[in-house]
Amino acid sequence: MGEFYDRAALVAQRQQWRAAGRRVVFTNGCYDILHPGHIRLLEGARALGDVLILALNTDASVQRLKGPMRPMIAQDQRAAMATGLASVDAVTFFDEDTPRELIAEVLPDFLVKGADWSHFIAGREEVETAGGQVLALPLEPGYSTTNIVDLINARPE
């Protein structure tokens, strides 16, 4: 089981992981409807290192990015689900539109996003400047939160 950290506690914990020689992987997203594509991405990210941090957009951040009808599941519930995943070691929130500031504070060894974000991975410059690697992992075909939401909304009542 993973653990939830506020930002300050996560940054402090990152220093402990660094001192212990543990390789830290960081990924982020809304994760407002958890699906098999998310699970496989998280498993792939976790396989790259010793610790996986999942930074979740706050509800306000999701609404700014996805619109007023999202997220489908509130941030505290999303965090509870994420901490229950075997591949996730640490969960935190970020309220900005991108996690660039958080990434700059944590400076993971690996920064991972799905291939749909390969054109723009926030925090790339900070991680690469610090000697880390940035990777865009392949997506699991057929899974998209937006498509799932659209299918739900299209169903007759």
In tens, the pLDDT along 11-38 reads 999 999 999 999 999 999 999 888 888 9
pTM, whole model, 2 decimals?
0.92
Residue 28 in 3-state DSSP?
strand
H/E run at residue 25: strand 24-29
Q: Domain holding 117: CATH number?
A: 3.40.50.620
Domains identified in the chain, total number: 1
At 8, is the pLDDT very low, low, confident or very high (cuts 50, 70, 90)?
very high
In tens, the pLDDT along 82-91 reads 999 999 999 9
State the Cα torsion 79-85-90-94 to the nearest 10°: -30
Provide the pLDDT for residue 154.
Answer: 77
State yes or no: pLDDT of 152 exceeds 90: no
Total count of residues recorded for the chain: 157
Domain, as residue range, for 22 = 3-154
Residues sharing a CB contact under 8 Å with residue 140, sequence separation 6 or more, in sequence order:
36, 37, 40, 41
